[in-house]
């Protein structure tokens, strides 16, 4: 088990290194970050501007060879120094840390809604196959799958904020502010969870051990919860976890529509302002989160199923 954990950790670390490298070189081909750091106030002479340009270039280390920049960058990153935001002139890490709790709150609530609504819906649909409930579950999962999130968000705002006036349109403050964004964000997850738990449950119910369990006279409740649900859940977990990166991506859109002050919104702003250190750190954050999610999933699997450790 230890060998497996070490190997898997090394793999994860390698991927994070890959992400950093990818984004580092992307930024460097993007143009000249130094020119963005120069303030173009009026009544400054050309020489003053050029002098500041060279100062910024030197400050950012852009006058050196790109490979040296890469090494220096790693040196700084190891100390947690990812540079200053061009726009706010505070460390990019600080900006991210300020916004991260908001995103986590939103994401966790969405995940809870997604599981709390999706699982019962999918299981109930599988147990009552072909019923109205089953059709409803299919309808919900199809809708959650095909709807453009930002449009849904706009429609929800129009219905619940503009017409009914029940909930605020955007921003943070009271508990009411989080309802619409969390619901919008959760819909994709509800759809995935409902669909997968439905087919996982159907699959499990068609197995021989379920027939055996029924044949030996177990109550239907025991058959469903002890036998079918347990075995069906593994494939559900796999698919749901694999769909998480996609859902992390939609965080950006949802946060922008609802002006939610999280890391996704920060990223959209940083892109508009060409605030590269912030964009960089944001991508790194999303990448690391994804890698961590998959890492935890694999470790859990290895704990449950000894065969995986020896692969």
Binder to another protein among 34, 123, 187, 256 (CB under 8 A)?
256
Binding piece for another protein, criterion CB under 8 A, among 108-116, 219-227, 270-278, 303-311: 270-278
Residue 246 binding another protein, by CB under 8 A: yes
Binding to another protein in span 222-241, by CB under 8 A: 235, 239
How many binding residues for another protein (CB under 8 A)?
63
Interaction between residue 120 and another protein (CB under 8 A): no
* Rounded-to-integer distance, Cα 137 and Cα 126, Å: 9
**Distance between CA atoms of 110 and 104, rounded to whole angstroms?**
10
Nearest of 57, 91, 88 to residue 76 by alpha carbon: 91
Under the binding rule (CB under 8 A), the answer on residue 295 touching another protein is no
Residue with the two structure tokens 């081909």: 29
**What's CA 12's distance to the chain center, in Å?**
17
End-to-end CA distance of the chain: 11
Which range touches another protein (CB under 8 A), out of 79-87, 89-97, 111-119, 271-279? 271-279
78 makes contact with another protein (CB under 8 A): no
Distance CA 142, CA 138 (A): 6
Q: If we measure between CA atoms, which residue out of 279, 181, 296, 305 comes closest to residue 244?
A: 296
Choose the binding region for another protein from 72-80, 102-110, 217-225, 281-289 (rule: CB under 8 A).
281-289
Considering beta carbons, is residue 11 or 131 the nearer one to another protein? 11
Q: Where are the alpha helices (DSSP H) in the chain?
A: 2-29, 33-36, 46-59, 66-78, 92-127, 132-146, 149-156, 176-205, 208-215, 220-222, 229-257, 263-272, 276-304, 306-309
Q: Which stretch binds another protein (CB under 8 A): 44-52, 74-82, 283-291, 301-309?
A: 283-291
Return the residue of 72, 142, 222, 304 that touches another protein, per CB under 8 A.
Answer: 142
**Does position 62 bind another protein by CB under 8 A?**
no
* Torsion angle, alpha carbons of 124, 125, 126, 129, to 10: 130
Q: Is 184 in the site for another protein (CB under 8 A)?
A: no
Residues forming contacts to another protein in the complex (CB under 8 A) are 11, 14-16, 18-19, 22-23, 26-27, 29-31, 129, 138, 141-143, 145-151, 154-155, 158, 162, 195-196, 198-199, 202-203, 205-206, 235, 239, 242, 245-246, 248-250, 252-253, 256-257, 267-268, 271-272, 274, 276, 279, 282-283, 286-287, 290-291, 294
């Amino acid at each position: 088990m230890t060998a497996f954990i070490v190997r898997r950790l090394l793999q994860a670390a390698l991927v994070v290194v890959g992400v950093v490298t990818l984004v580092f070189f992307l930024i460097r081909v993007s143009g000249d970050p130094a020119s963005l750091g120069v303030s173009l106030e009026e009544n400054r002479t050309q020489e003053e501007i050029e002098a500041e340009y060279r100062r910024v270039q030197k400050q950012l280390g852009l006058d050196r060879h790109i490979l040296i920049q890469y090494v220096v960058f790693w040196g700084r990153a190891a100390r947690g120094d990812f540079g200053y935001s061009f726009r706010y002139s505070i460390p990019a890490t600080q900006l991210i840390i300020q916004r991260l709790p908001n995103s986590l709150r939103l994401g966790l609530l969405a995940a809870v809604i997604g599981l709390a609504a999706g699982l019962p819906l999918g299981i109930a649909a599988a147990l009552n196959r072909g019923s109205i409930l089953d059709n409803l579950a299919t309808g919900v999962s199809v809708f959650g799958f095909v709807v453009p999130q930002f449009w849904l968000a706009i429609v929800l705002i129009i219905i619940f904020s503009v017409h009914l006036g029940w909930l605020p349109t955007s921003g943070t403050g009271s508990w009411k502010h989080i309802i619409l964004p969390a619901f919008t964000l959760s819909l994709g997850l509800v759809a995935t969870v409902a669909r997968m738990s439905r087919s996982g449950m159907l699959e499990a119910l068609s197995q021989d051990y379920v027939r055996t369990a029924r044949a030996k006279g177990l109550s239907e409740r025991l058959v469903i919860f002890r036998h079918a649900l347990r075995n069906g859940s593994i494939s559900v977990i796999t698919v749901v976890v694999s769909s998480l990166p996609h859902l992390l991506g939609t965080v950006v859109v949802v946060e922008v529509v609802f002006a939610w002050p999280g890391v996704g919104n920060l990223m959209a702003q940083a892109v508009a302002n060409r605030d590269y250190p912030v964009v960089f750190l944001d991508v790194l954050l999303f990448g690391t989160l994804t890698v961590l999610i998959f890492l935890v999933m694999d470790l859990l699997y290895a704990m449950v199923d000894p065969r995986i450790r020896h692969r």
